Structures are given as structure tokens and as C-alpha cells.
Amino acid sequence: MVLTGAGVSTESGVPDYRSASGIWAEVDPFEVASIQAFRHDPERVWSFYRARIHVLHEAEPNAAHHALAELERLGFVSAVVTQNIDTLHSRAGSRDVIEVHGSIRSAQCLRCLWTESGEAALAQLEVRSAPLCPHCDDILKPGVVLFGELLPPGALERATDLARTAGLVLVVGSSLEVWPVAGLPLEARDFAIVNHGPTALDDRALLKIDAAAGETLAAVVEAL
């Protein structure tokens, strides 16, 4: 099982959240990306995500995404559990992707539980400051897990099962700071980490490689 975080997408030009140059150094997540903020001022939350979604639509999968898709095709990877909302794993060809923090491919109505496509929500943002549910007219919520929200039902359970049965959990591009996902490697028999900079679990890992995800995973594919 592979567990990925923002660091797998930085080589695609997608800014991460928690580094010194990350998104949360510029804006307070509780003001633009929390469920409290959405209930209080959904237009502000959508103004933040609208800009994010445009950046993510411009981004292309990088060598790390392609290598993980190839490792799945070769039978070495059973599933990718990702904290990323950017859909780049699927676009690179990974088939079993568990998006534990949701994604930009949808938007949801909290009142009637309708799920709208991300494209349709984005199209509405051309004419209004927050997209509306086509069924009940309530304001849609981005399909990403906001701070203060629970993870999508079943996602964490499936990821935990995969971690417990995997021969190895490979962590790529995550500093393992956001719980409960950060606890997944501890469920595994063994885990290895590829990440630029320290993570919370470096001293518990079987192997830690402090390097860029793209070149490292491309080398793994080459070696196998």
C-alpha cells in the first residue's frame, strides 16, 4: 500500500500546505477551509477553492504519479491512499485510489446529500460566488474534507485494512502530521518513507529516503 501526501504533487507545481512556502503560510485554514468557515461564510470558502481548483486543473501528473501507476500495473502496489485532492494519481493511471480527504472531482449538498460534479460546480462559479444544489437550492460544499469534518465513510476503514495486510506501506511526500491518516503506517508490519525533510515517524521506519519523489520512484520502477 502506498500513502501519499502533498509532497508527491509539488513536482507538478501544486503548492503544499505546511512548508514555509506552503498555502497555510499565506492564509489561515480555519478561515477558508474549515466546516465552521463554510457554515459561516461559504462564499469565502468557495473563493479560496475556486483559485485552488484552477491551479489543480492546470497541473499534470509527474514522474512520481506515473511510477506509482506503473508499480500497480506490475503488481507491486495494491492501492494508493492519498491525502491529496488533486486527482493526479487517477489521471496518471492508478486504478485503486482511496482519496481520504475527498477531491475536487465533486461538490456536495449537506442538506439533501446530492453530489454534483466538480465541473458543474465550477461552471456555476462563473456566474455566482457559490454553487447551488440543483435539487434544493442550498449552497454546495467542495467535495474535499474540510477541517472539522469526518473523513468519507469507509475510506479510513479500507485504508486501515490495507495497511494491516500489506507487506509494506510506502509513504511518499507526507510529513505524517495530519491525523488520523498519519497513524496508518503504525498499523503496518513495516513501512518506508520517501520525503523531503523529516517526518513524525522517521525513527520508526524500516527505511527513510530524504529525496524528491519523482526521481526516487522512477528509480524503483527501473530497478524492479
**Site residues, Zn ion (CB under 5 A):** 109, 111-112, 114, 133, 135-136, 138
In 83-165, DSSP assigns E strands to 97-99, 102-108, 115-117, 141-144
Q: What share of the chain is helix, strand, coil (3-state, %, to 5)?
A: 40, 15, 40
Contact between residue 106 and residue 117 where contact means Cβ atoms under 8 Å apart: yes
If the CB atoms of residues 27 and 112 are measured against Zn ion, the closer one turns out to be 112
If the CB atoms of residues 138 and 202 are measured against Zn ion, the closer one turns out to be 138
Contact between residue 168 and residue 80 where contact means Cβ atoms under 8 Å apart: no
Q: Which of 40, 101, 135, 196 is catalytic?
A: 101
If the CB atoms of residues 137 and 210 are measured against Zn ion, the closer one turns out to be 137
Paired with 193 in beta bridges are 171, 208
If the CB atoms of residues 132 and 192 are measured against Zn ion, the closer one turns out to be 132
Closest approach, Cβ 159 to Zn ion, in A, equals 29
Can 54 be counted among the known catalytic residues?
no
Query: What is the rounded CA–CA span in Å between residue 137 and residue 139?
Result: 6
Query: Starting from the edge strand earliest in sequence, which strands make up the sheet with 191-194, in order?
Result: 97-99, 80-82, 2-4, 169-172, 191-194, 207-209
Closest approach, Cβ 49 to Zn ion, in A, equals 18
If the CB atoms of residues 134 and 198 are measured against Zn ion, the closer one turns out to be 134
Closest approach, Cβ 111 to Zn ion, in A, equals 5
Q: Is 37 left (phi over 0), alpha (psi -120 to 50) or beta?
A: alpha
- The residues, ordered by sequence, that sit 6+ positions from 26 with a Cβ below 8 Å of its Cβ are none
Closest approach, Cβ 53 to Zn ion, in A, equals 20
- Cα–Cα distances in angstroms (integers) from residue 100 to residues 4, 15, 19, 164, in the given order: 10, 19, 21, 17
Closest approach, Cβ 137 to Zn ion, in A, equals 7
Query: What is the rounded CA–CA span in Å between residue 46 and residue 139?
Result: 10
Q: Which residues are catalytic?
A: 101
